[in-house]
Amino acid sequence: MSLLISGFALGISLIVAIGPQNALLIKQGIKRDHIWVVIAICAVSDMLLIAGGTAGVGYLVETFPTALVVLKYLGAAYLAYFTFLCFRDGFRDKVETLSPTDAEPNHTEQIDSFDGGTSGGTGSGAAVDTRKPATALRRQMRKSTWLKPALATLAICWLNPAAYVDVLVMLGGIANQYGPDGRWVFAAGAITASMVWFPTIGLSAAKFSHILSRPAVWRGINIGIGCIMTLLTIKLLLS
């Protein structure tokens, strides 16, 4: 039990600080944009990294440092792009609709019009031009796809050299100090921390999205995250 608690404590200490994963979880949670997809990818990615470090994969990372150099610049490039998106949303004059519930009535109208129903309660039998509603419906469907947030989450999780150093090398090295059996108990504690933390931060952002999605608050969150991501990008490039 002590090994399990130790692993949990170390796992929480590594992920509780605001980093790329937490920043993305907060943004997606506020927008309620396929948050469970983002949570699942973050949790599974952490589980794989922890298991790999416990199995000794961290040794390979130390043996081939060139791989970390490549990841360093790929990760810095993506963090810079993520930073740009945060500042763009933070300084944008018109804030987009963040909660899907706000767009639900409009979505229903689009479907009714697309199916041939009358719009605006006119009741006339005149032919309705469905090209515009159809275009709007396709745009709404593209907007709601899970693929874009999934790809963004995969990039955040796997193009971050700090994750390999912290999890594969450091956490894996500590876990392996407890022997062939104890290391997996320690790893289970660290994995439990990830399984608890990611849903907590993502669903909390979604629960309070009615407050956090207010234009002034949303701008402040984006600018704050953008500043943190700028510091992380600089730190990554200088490390």
Q: Determine the pLDDT at residue 180.
A: 81
Yes or no: say if 56 and 176 are a contact pair by the CB < 8 Å rule.
Answer: yes
Q: Determine the pLDDT at residue 116.
A: 42
Cα separation, 168 vs 59, in Å, equals 8
Q: What is the pTM of this model?
A: 0.67
Q: State the average pLDDT for the chain.
A: 76
In 3D space, the residue among 157, 174, 172, 165 whose CA is nearest the CA of residue 46 turns out to be 157
How many other C-beta atoms are found inside a 10 Å radius of the C-beta of residue 134?
Answer: 13
Cα separation, 88 vs 28, in Å, equals 16
Q: Determine the pLDDT at residue 143.
A: 54
**44 CB burial (10 A radius; 0-12, 13-18, 19+):** middle
User: Tens digit of pLDDT for each residue in 215-235?
Assistant: 888 788 888 888 888 887 887
Cα separation, 60 vs 168, in Å, equals 9
Q: Determine the pLDDT at residue 119.
A: 42
Q: Determine the pLDDT at residue 93.
A: 65
**What parts of the chain have a pLDDT lower than 50?**
97-131, 137, 141
Residue type, 192: T
Cα separation, 46 vs 167, in Å, equals 8
